[in-house]
Chain A
Amino acid sequence: MSDRRVPLVVLGAGPAGVAAARAAVEARVAVVLIDLGARLGGQYHRREPEAFATSAPGALHHGWARWSEDVTHLERSPRFTHVAGAGVWAIQHLADGGMRIATDREDLPSFETDALIIATGANERVVPFPGWDLPGVLTVGGAQALLKGQGMRPGHAVVISGAGPLLLPVAAALARVRTNIVALTDANDPRRWLSGSPRGIPLSKVREGASYLATLARHGVRLRPRTAAIAAHGDGRVEEVVLARLERDWTPIPGSERTVTADALATSHGFVPDIGVAVGLGCLLDAQDASAPAVVVDRSQATSVPGVWAAGEVTGIGGADVAVHEGRVAGLAAALMLGGDVDEDELERAIARRRADAPFLRTLAGVLTVGDGWTSWLTPDTTVCRCEEVTLATIDEAIERRGACDLRSVKLTTRCGMGHCQARICGPSVAALLTARTGQPPADAGALDRRPVLHPVPLGRL
């Protein structure tokens, strides 16, 4: 195996990774940026520029201009290499302090590097409920991708239900192409965030939210707060969705259930940092929320492992702007360590910029809270792990009869999280269920994110 040794690898080409790469390249450090996607952009800039510019003029325009500038600058730099369409399936510490990074690209099987910036972003979180595994149920991000990518609506009569800021732009985009939106519900109450100017929310975000609401109002769609789709029914696919009003902790209010007819249900409940790479390298985690552990970083985005930095959603959910701020800090800090041309004042300014995001992040955390009460939406035969078809009853049996009291034992005794998604979807639910059943968060938070194989790779590629 012939390994190329490079000073710095950035993993993930979203807003955080691109900002990090740009900062490092400016400091005259050679950077290899690796991403699964064909183009730079990650989750945020996955859509085409046209759609981006027209979706909400003004505020987003500004973001797009900065983004294009970053990308142009990067792509012109002789120190920049973009390894596109490459899934990193494993990372190994080397005896000399470096790391080996294995990709599934046949022509570029592996790299060795002295330093790594983890910018792997986040995955959508989906809370299970009876019928969530029926055809016709998809994630809100999935509905967005379907629309942007293939110009397709998820159905003729669509329920959009979940929690968090992703619901609005996707609902607005669907409304604009005249989708029949039967209901739009948020399990939390986002009105506080949308009206007035709660602490730390930049005016641009408030305007962005207001413009989505205006679009929705024009199409007669109203956002129902403290309401959720708690079940879906149908013969072979979604035909009906049960909506219920919720208590603050997401427990359904008895008697508030209402059944609507729908052939599609788009649902997600916030985001979970994609910490697999960080866990594999041994980075310290913040597991205050056992369902969504994040990578711990210091003021310069350094993780607990020497030579490894992290930026963007992987360190906690903060949105694209915060991801850019963190990416810049990480890029400068890594470049400084690698002997790059970094002005320490510049690094301090970048750190200060990131610090100023703190009030916004606190408010955002409130909007993204997942209430414990969702566990009462489930029935014993509700599927929790879709890949391995593991039901709530099987998990309860493992906890009660086999004495499983941590994530790893539940996984090993039920197969929950062993399937293709490797617990990316069911992991947070299992952690929350264990917490609910045993009265305390599992001692091994993050255990389901330990994936020596970060994403599936054909044995013939090894």
Chain B
Amino acid sequence: MTDHDVIVIGSGVVGASCAYELALAGRRVLVVDRGNLTSGTTASGEGNVLVSDKPPGPELDLARASVSRWADYAAELSEGFEYEPKGGVVIATDDASRAGLVDLVSRHRDVGVSAQLLDADGLREAEPHLAHDLDLGALYPDDAQVQPVLASSALLADARRLGAEVRSGNEVLGFSFDSDGRVAAVRTTEGTFGAGAVVNAAGPWSSALARLAGTDLPVRPRRGHLLVTAPVGRLVHHKVYEAGYVDTLTADTSEAQVSAVVESTPSGTILLGSSRELVDFDTTVDLDVVRRIAQRARRLFPILAEVDLLRIYVGFRPWVPDHLPIIGEDPQVRGLWHATGHEGAGIGLAPATGQLIRAGITDTPPPVDPLPFRVARPSLMAAAAARTAHG
């Protein structure tokens, strides 16, 4: 009954990359998504591919592998996805972030990441519309940008050309196991599909998926708002964000953390982020958060006051307590692989994630050391234990 070698659950950017990489390796892949294709978190993300916001460590390694893989995708996929290797500019807006930025740049340079401090003139040259009182920043030439939905649909389109099957409107309801307890099939609203391996790429819903398989993942939704302006042309040339943004990444509160992240897109709109709150799947637009994002963005680019706000997206980043993606086979349910927990960096980290899953399933050399991302790592176990203790 096994029509497929691998079933990928989720057609977000992570599922799409896993599907493409596995199809490249000759695996017969089925992608199922309960909603429309790529309509989850990926459809409300910004599409930054960043090394600049990741301190040296395993996530930076994954990011650097992904940056180079995104460049491959741009060259080899049949459909385009607005890939722009345009670089990032990080800006210190207060004294605390000045010291932090100088330190981060030197640590990045130590591990070979290109980074360069910018003074007031350097900032003005890089971004003419920046507020005049800003006088310290850093340029990261390797930061890039993609349009997440186009990127995912391009990956899925080529996966299909390589023989993969993609089904939307198909919700996973449960799993079946063989006599050894290995995953053997996936039960969905459209029928049961057998496969030798299953990849859980359900983003912020991946813990619900894990529960269906009788296991546990500490992934939770971390809500974010994204503002889109009317098309105004290239006011902003790089991906520009406040150095304080890096701190909001690890501040795990239900109260909204806001810091400015600003960039132009090829269609002439400007994207303004970002907020982070642990408030479950609540799609309500919070007008206070919207205001705070607009204010912080105007702090960097005063010219934005005149620009029209046109759209707002609300999305749910797949958050994990130790802030590292979960990529690997479940130690309790053999044949079930997780590719999730990328929080606010899933677009950037998707390619190397797909490569890691491909390497794991096909037993070939991985692009980076997979160990730090494994499901049963001490930092996650500790979080799980703490959760249990608190009831």
Contacts and interface: CB of A to CB of B under 8 A. Distances in A.
A456 B308 contact: yes
A459 B37 contact: no
Nearest to B231: A419
A462 B153 contact: no
Chain B, interface SS category: mixed
Contacts of A408: 36, 39, 43
B311 A452 contact: yes
Contacts of A102: 287
B114 interface: no
Contact of B294 (A92, A412, A452, A462): A462
Interface string B133-165: 000000000000000011001101100100000
B156 A459 contact: no
A41 B288 CA distance: 32
Nearest to B160: A403
Nearest to A100: B287
Interface string A444-462: 1000000111001111101
B116 interface: no
Interface in B163-195: 166, 168-169
Interface string B294-337: 11011000001111111111100000000000000000000000
B287 A409 contact: no
A418 B311 contact: yes
Contact of A458 (B150, B154, B169, B307): B307
A342 to B, nearest CB: 31
Contact of B287 (A90, A404, A415): A90
Interface string A190-225: 000000000000000000000000000000000000
Contacts of B97: none
A413 B290 CA distance: 25
Nearest to A414: B150
A422 interface: yes
A458 B166 contact: no
Contacts of A419: 231
Contacts of A413: 149-150, 153
A402 interface: yes
B291 A457 contact: no
B286 interface: yes
A401 B157 contact: yes
A462 B169 CA distance: 38
B156 A403 contact: yes
Interface string B261-282: 0000001010010000000000
B285 A409 contact: no
A404 to B, nearest CB: 7
Contacts of B295: 462
A96 to B, nearest CB: 13
Given A90-B287, A93-B284, A458 B308 contact: yes
B229 A459 contact: yes
Contacts of B269: 418
Contacts of B160: 403
Nearest to A110: B287
Residue from A406, A451, A459 having most chain B Cβ neighbours under 10 A: A459
- Which of the four size classes fits the interface of chain B? 35 or more
Contact of B305 (A409, A443, A459): A459
A54 B295 CA distance: 51
Nearest to B304: A459
Contact of B308 (A403, A412, A444, A457): A457
B153 A444 contact: no
Nearest to B167: A403
Contacts of B285: 90, 92, 452
A420 interface: yes
Given A92-B287, A93-B284, A422 B298 contact: no
B284 A462 contact: no
Contacts of B313: 452
Contact of B36 (A405, A451, A458): A405
A457 B312 CA distance: 12
B37 A409 contact: yes
A133 interface: no
Contacts of B287: 90, 92, 100, 102, 110
Contacts of A337: none
A51 interface: no
Contacts of B36: 405-406, 408-409, 443-444
A175 to B, nearest CB: 39
Contacts of B37: 403-405, 409
A404 B153 contact: yes
A443 B306 CA distance: 38
Contact of A460 (B38, B39, B156, B298): B298
B371 interface: no
B142 to A, nearest CB: 27
B236 to A, nearest CB: 13
Interface in A47-93: 89-90, 92-93
Contact of B166 (A100, A388, A403, A412): A403
B157 A403 contact: yes
Contacts of A406: 36, 168
Residue from A401, A444, A462 having most chain B Cβ neighbours under 10 A: A462
A422 B228 CA distance: 12
Contacts of A458: 305-309
A92 B286 contact: yes
Contacts of A444: 36
B79 interface: yes
B267 A402 contact: no
B230 interface: yes
Contact of B230 (A100, A412, A420): A420
Contacts of B79: 401-402
Contacts of A92: 284-287
A382 B72 CA distance: 34
Residue from A110, A402, A452, A458 having most chain B Cβ neighbours under 10 A: A452
A451 B169 CA distance: 23
A321 B314 CA distance: 39
A404 B166 CA distance: 11
Interface in A239-270: none
B231 A443 contact: no
Contacts of A404: 37, 153
Given A402-B156, A404-B37, 4 more contacts: A409-B36, A459-B294, A460-B305, A460-B306
27 contacts: A1-B288, A1-B291, A90-B285, A90-B290, A102-B287, A110-B287, A402-B154, A402-B156, A403-B156, A406-B36, A412-B38, A413-B149, A413-B153, A418-B269, A418-B310, A443-B169, A451-B311, A452-B314, A456-B230, A456-B309, A456-B310, A457-B308, A458-B305, A459-B272, A459-B304, A459-B306, A462-B290
Interface of A: 1, 89-90, 92-93, 100, 102, 110, 388, 401-406, 408-409, 412-413, 415, 418-420, 422, 443-444, 451-453, 456-460, 462
Interface of B: 36-39, 43, 79, 149-150, 153-154, 156-157, 160, 166, 168-169, 227, 229-231, 267, 269, 272, 284-288, 290-291, 294-295, 297-298, 304-314
Closest 10 CB pairs of A and B: A460-B305, A452-B312, A456-B308, A412-B149, A462-B294, A402-B153, A406-B36, A459-B294, A462-B291, A452-B285
